[in-house]
């Protein structure tokens, strides 16, 4: 058996995946969102394990295809992409830098989900435009199942926020 020669080290694969955008929020990558849980290289075979954000998100196959393509672009022919829901994705996996970009993009970053408890309305949600805490939730589910819709009572602007899970 002739092993496939590849320069695809785990570090190179992580770097490539850090350029794969979140299919719903293009300002952050799937690694920013903490979706990529494991990268393993065994000879010429690469296995990437990811956990999708909110189980209601319809972009699962898009993420899977994007991961596979990013690894293939490194010259790897043998790619396996696995998804796992255990442990479930949590907003705590979102990187600090990504939280700031979400805010700039106009999405209220989620508050940390403390101690694994699902917080319903306990988190202070700020208007990403004016910073006011005087906001009102208008719908528990946004355009995707991932987000909530709010309206700011100070500047009257509607905006989207994440659910903390």
Structure tokens belonging to residue 131: 């910073």
Q: By CB under 5 A, is residue 130 in contact with Zn ion?
A: yes
The region of 21-29, 80-88, 105-113, 129-137 touching Zn ion under the rule CB under 5 A is 129-137
Q: By CB under 5 A, is residue 129 in contact with Zn ion?
A: yes
d(CA 125, CA 135): 7
DSSP label at 53?
S
Min CB(103)–Zn ion separation in Å: 13
Residues 6+ apart with CB under 8 A from 73: 16
Which is nearest to 147 in space by CA: 113, 99, 109, 118? 109
Min CB(155)–Zn ion separation in Å: 3
Binding residue (CB under 5 A) for Zn ion from 27, 59, 155, 165: 155
Q: By CB under 5 A, is residue 154 in contact with Zn ion?
A: yes
The region of 10-18, 57-65, 94-102, 144-152 touching Zn ion under the rule CB under 5 A is 144-152
Helix (H) or strand (E) holding 68: helix 60-72
Contact 91, 68 (CB under 8 A): no
Min CB(159)–Zn ion separation in Å: 8
Q: By CB under 5 A, is residue 149 in contact with Zn ion?
A: no
Q: By CB under 5 A, is residue 127 in contact with Zn ion?
A: yes
Min CB(139)–Zn ion separation in Å: 17
Structure tokens belonging to residue 164: 């903390």
Question: Nearer Cβ to Zn ion, position 33 or 127?
Answer: 127
For residue 52, the SS3 value is coil
Q: Answer positive or negative: Cα dihedral of 6, 37, 126, 131.
A: negative
Binding residue (CB under 5 A) for Zn ion from 18, 69, 84, 132: 132
Contacting positions for Zn ion (CB under 5 A): 127, 129-130, 132, 152, 154-155
């Amino acid at each position: 058996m002739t092993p496939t020669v590849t320069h695809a080290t785990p570090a190179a694969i992580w770097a490539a995946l850090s350029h794969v955008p979140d299919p719903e929020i293009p300002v952050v990558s799937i690694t920013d969102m903490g979706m990529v849980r494991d990268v393993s290289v065994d000879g010429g075979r690469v296995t990437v394990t990811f956990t999708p954000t909110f189980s209601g998100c319809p972009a699962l196959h898009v993420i899977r295809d994007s991961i596979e393509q990013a690894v293939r672009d490194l010259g790897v022919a043998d790619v396996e992409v696995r998804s796992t829901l255990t442990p479930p994705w949590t907003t705590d996996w979102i990187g600090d830098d990504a939280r700031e970009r979400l805010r700039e993009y106009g999405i209220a970053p989620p508050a940390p989900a403390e101690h694994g408890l699902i917080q319903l309305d306990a988190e202070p949600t700020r208007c990403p435009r004016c910073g006011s805490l005087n906001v009102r939730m208008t719908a528990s589910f946004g355009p995707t199942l991932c987000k909530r819709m709010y309206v700011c009572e100070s500047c009257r602007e509607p905006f989207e926020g994440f659910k903390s899970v």
